[in-house]
Amino acid sequence: MSAIAIELEDLTVAYQRHPAVHHVTGTIAAGSLTAIAGPNGAGKSSLLKAIIGELRPSSGMIRHRLKSTDFGYLPQAANINRRFPISVLDTVLLGAWRQSGALGHIASAEWQKAHDALEAVGLGGFERRGIGSLSAGQFQRVLFARLLLQDANVILLDEPFTAIDGRTTRDLLDIVANWHGEGRTVLAVLHDFAQVRAHFPQTLLLARDVIGWGATADVMSEANLRKARAMAERWDESAGICEPAR
């Protein structure tokens, strides 16, 4: 039996008293690779934020024995300010903060790891470029390089492949597969069901309530997808309030 990395018990998360996630119960196995899928407004991003502590549960529990430094988190690209005047290399080096501290000295080994991470994501030679000059796909590669440097045990990705080109998506999916092969625990919010089926062995299908959670082939059935769509349509019909981050 696989060890449990994170346990959710009757978890409810709300925005302004309106529940975004309802009564979620289940476990995330250590070393698992899990997609979180579902319609817009289903609470997917809310669940990630609750797991990393950005949102407090309205009720229920999140249990784990992990430290904050055990988590690597990639938010939605739309929530990241790319106008800040910082170089590609300095952005990647932010992943070394747990070794150096917020204002600490960056060791030469970390500088080399940052260069190696940029090579790994196909951006060798981009070190001095400003992040504002990058394409969407290039910037996402930078953020994955930062995660590589962070070297976290649990990695949470919120829509990591949205609005980027096919080649970048394939390259970043290879990195996700490598993390899984190294025994890291990976959760990713995804909208592309083909990606879910092709690359993620476990899936949580969420429509504020849990529709299914387990092996992807079983969870992503037509019956479950119809149920998720029907629940989303009922939200629209009743003018229900969706959480700001999907």
Decide if 7 is inside a domain: yes
pLDDT of residue 104: 56
Decide if 179 is inside a domain: no
Convert the pLDDT of each residue in 92-145 to its tens digit.
999 987 665 555 567 788 899 999 999 999 999 999 999 999 999 999 999 999
In 121-239, alpha helices (H) = 136-150, 166-181, 193-199, 216-219, 222-237
d(CA 47, CA 234): 21
**Are residues 59 and 124 both part of a single domain?**
no
pLDDT over 70 (residue 159):
yes
pLDDT of residue 139: 95
pLDDT over 60 (residue 50):
yes
The domain that holds 46 is classified in CATH as 3.40.50.300
Domain extent at residue 108: 74-152
**Residue 238: pLDDT band by 50, 70, 90 thresholds?**
low
d(CA 163, CA 161): 7
**Are residues 40 and 79 both part of a single domain?**
no
pLDDT over 60 (residue 69):
yes
**Are residues 241 and 196 both part of a single domain?**
yes
Domain end point (choices 132, 152, 172)? 152
Number of domains in the chain: 2
Decide if 62 is inside a domain: yes
Which residues neighbour 97 within 8 Å (Cβ) at sequence distance 6 or greater?
A: 104
Domain end point (choices 152, 173, 193)? 152
Decide if 167 is inside a domain: no
pTM: 0.91
pLDDT of residue 52: 94
**Are residues 78 and 61 both part of a single domain?**
no
Decide if 197 is inside a domain: yes
Q: Using alpha carbons only, what angle is made at residue 156 by residues 99 and 74, rounded to the nearest 5 degrees?
A: 70
**Are residues 147 and 79 both part of a single domain?**
yes
